[in-house]
Chain A
Amino acid sequence: MAKIVIENLKYKYPGMNKLALNDISFTIEPGEFIGIIGRNESGKSSLCQAIAGLIPNFYKGAYGGRVFIDNMEVKKVAVEDLCETVGIVFQNPFNQVTGSKLTVYEEISFGLENMGIPREDMIKRIDDAMELLDISKYRDRYPFDLSGGQMQRMAIASIIAMKPEVILLDEPTSQLDPQGREEVFQAVQKLSKQGITIIMVEHNMEKIAAYSDRVVLLDDGKLIDIDIPQKIFSRDDLGEYGVEAPVYTQICRKLGIKNKSGYYPIALEETKNLLNSISKSMGKVIDQKGEM
């Protein structure tokens, strides 16, 4: 699995005055699940695309600093070669359908054909990917006939079949209905269990809190903080960065309830357990500042 090192990354889109990425440095260990949060236009998508090599090789523009995937410097590798190591899934499921294949099965083979993978390997990889994303039943369907959630899972399968070591997901559920979102999050969970390095941008804080090993907080192109979710969501200044904490954290913050490590809980289970053990019976008022 690959280790990602980002050193002083700076980037400005052509024709823009402001830096989209402003001196970002951090490291991602192999197999980590990194959540990226921040308000709109804080640089989240740009950061993903810089890791995938689309910045600077697709977008051009002014680029500074370095990004390494293992020992490859991203700037020096062409996207069509880098994509074998780093995969990226975008927001709009529709625009990720190539439009040149008639079945879901063939659609997933697109990247593999480009990579020159031998036929027998291709078949195995496609089958495995469809299995993982639970879309085997759609193998003969016309790609554009699928629902949003199914299309997005097909896009993820197409990337997974290429067996990248890193997979980036840039707001993969923001255009989906609740069922679609649920399907994609379940797929992401399965992926993370496989040990692939996953980097996900999301606005759903509850999921970010649940899945991430560490969370990156961006604002105005700058790295504000990178730490475990508990610490990030216990920050008092999240509002300044246009971000809100998971609902459970908000509740505990307002009630002044912290857990053993001194942070606010970030998940349903933990919150429930804490609140239950504090309140003696149903419906009673909970003491303020109930520390354990």
Chain B
Amino acid sequence: MSTIEIKNLHFSYTEGEEILKGLNFNIDERSTAIIGQNGAGKTTFVKLLKGLLKPTEGEILLNGKNIKDMTVATIAKHIGMVFQNPNDQIFKSQVLDEVMFGPLQVGIDKETAKKKAMEALEVVGMAEEIHANPYDLGLSRRKLVAIASILAMDTEIIIFDEPTIAQDYAGKERIKDIIRKLRKDGKTVITIIHDMNFVADVFERAIVFAQGKAILDDSTKMVFSQKEVLEKAYLEQPDVMKLCYELNLQECFLNVDELIQKYGV
């Protein structure tokens, strides 16, 4: 299991305008959702984790080692990130080649890379389309190819940047399954996301970012029950929680099934 320690992390793009104002927490094995308004610093934070940016102050330790001494390519062996827009990374004309690119880059040999790519495509449900041209696929299936290409790199930690954008119900369910499987396989999953219902259903921990600080950091249930704090960060509760509040229930639930379990037959 990998750990990431964030110690007093500060970051500014330009002098005088601090984006991240002293973050302090550790990433453990729990699947973690980072939520917050646009501009709160979520994307910046994740870029720092990947080494694409360097902290202005503070440090990030990956399994005890300071990542500022590691190159982006080295970090890529441990932390994989699925970017929001698949069009920003896909360049090969066949799905299989695209998915093999990442593993080959981080030094995995061709045989193993192919095997990992096939496994990843199996997980995202695209095993039938390995020879398709990614651009012939609809946007949501292209996203699955992008996810597979990161899964194939077999990193211990995987970050998802807005995995649910442009996905329909079936697509979201598939991504939920993927995340649950990764968790079962012992991977650390971190996500930046705006879909509160999705977070409530899949993630164990939520960290709320607002104006460069982590104002709330707890289990998803705890975080989502704090209506006032969420409002300050311009966030809403998941729908089921809203209902619980309206009904003045003693206990709050994260999703439909939990609610039914308590109240139905």
Touch test A–B (CB under 8 Å) = yes
> Residues of A at under 8 Å CB distance from B?
39-41, 91, 147-148, 171, 174-175, 177-180, 203, 206, 242-244, 246-248, 250-251, 254-256, 268, 271-272, 275-276, 282-283, 285-286, 288
User: Are the CB atoms of B38 and A282 closer together than 8 Å?
Assistant: no
Closest to A176 in B: B194
When A and B form their complex, which 9 residue pairs have the shortest distance between CB atoms, in order from nearest? Answer: A247-B239, A40-B168, A272-B246, A177-B38, A254-B260, A242-B170, A283-B250, A244-B169, A39-B168
How far, in Å, is B159 (CB) from chain A's closest CB?
A: 18
Chain A residues in 8 Å Cβ range of B168: 39-40, 203, 242-243
How far, in Å, is B184 (CB) from chain A's closest CB?
A: 24
List B residues 226-251 near A (Cβ within 8 Å): 234-236, 239-240, 242-243, 246-251
User: Are the CB atoms of B236 and A178 closer together than 8 Å?
Assistant: yes
Alpha-carbon distance A23/B210, docked complex (angstroms): 50
Q: A203-B168, A254-B260 are in contact. List 14 more A-B contacts (CB 8 A).
A: A39-B168, A40-B140, A40-B168, A41-B138, A171-B166, A178-B37, A180-B38, A243-B168, A247-B243, A251-B243, A255-B260, A283-B250, A283-B251, A288-B265
How far, in Å, is B47 (CB) from chain A's closest CB?
A: 18
Alpha-carbon distance A272/B168, docked complex (angstroms): 27
User: Are the CB atoms of A248 and B243 closer together than 8 Å?
Assistant: yes
Known: A174-B166, A247-B243, A271-B243. A254 touches B264 (CB 8 A): yes
List B residues 29-61 near A (Cβ within 8 Å): 37-39
Would you call the interface of chain B mostly helix, strand, loop, or mixed?
Answer: loop
Q: Does residue B256 face the partner (Cβ distance < 8 Å to A)?
A: yes
Chain A residues in 8 Å Cβ range of B240: 247, 251
Q: Does residue B165 face the partner (Cβ distance < 8 Å to A)?
A: yes
Would you call the interface of chain A mostly helix, strand, loop, or mixed?
Answer: loop
How far, in Å, is B110 (CB) from chain A's closest CB?
A: 34
Alpha-carbon distance A203/B256, docked complex (angstroms): 18
Alpha-carbon distance A174/B240, docked complex (angstroms): 21
Selected contact of B246 from candidates A179, A203, A268, CB within 8 Å: A268
Chain A residues in 8 Å Cβ range of B171: 40
User: Are the CB atoms of A285 and B263 closer together than 8 Å?
Assistant: yes
Chain A residues in 8 Å Cβ range of B236: 178
Chain B residues in 8 Å Cβ range of A250: 256
Alpha-carbon distance A282/B250, docked complex (angstroms): 7
Q: Does residue B167 face the partner (Cβ distance < 8 Å to A)?
A: yes
Q: Does residue B8 face the partner (Cβ distance < 8 Å to A)?
A: no
Q: Does residue B259 face the partner (Cβ distance < 8 Å to A)?
A: yes
Alpha-carbon distance A213/B254, docked complex (angstroms): 30
Q: Does residue B133 face the partner (Cβ distance < 8 Å to A)?
A: no
Chain A residues in 8 Å Cβ range of B170: 39-40, 242
User: Are the CB atoms of B165 and A174 closer together than 8 Å?
Assistant: yes
User: Are the CB atoms of A286 and B169 closer together than 8 Å?
Assistant: no
Chain B residues in 8 Å Cβ range of A174: 165-166
Q: Does residue B197 face the partner (Cβ distance < 8 Å to A)?
A: yes
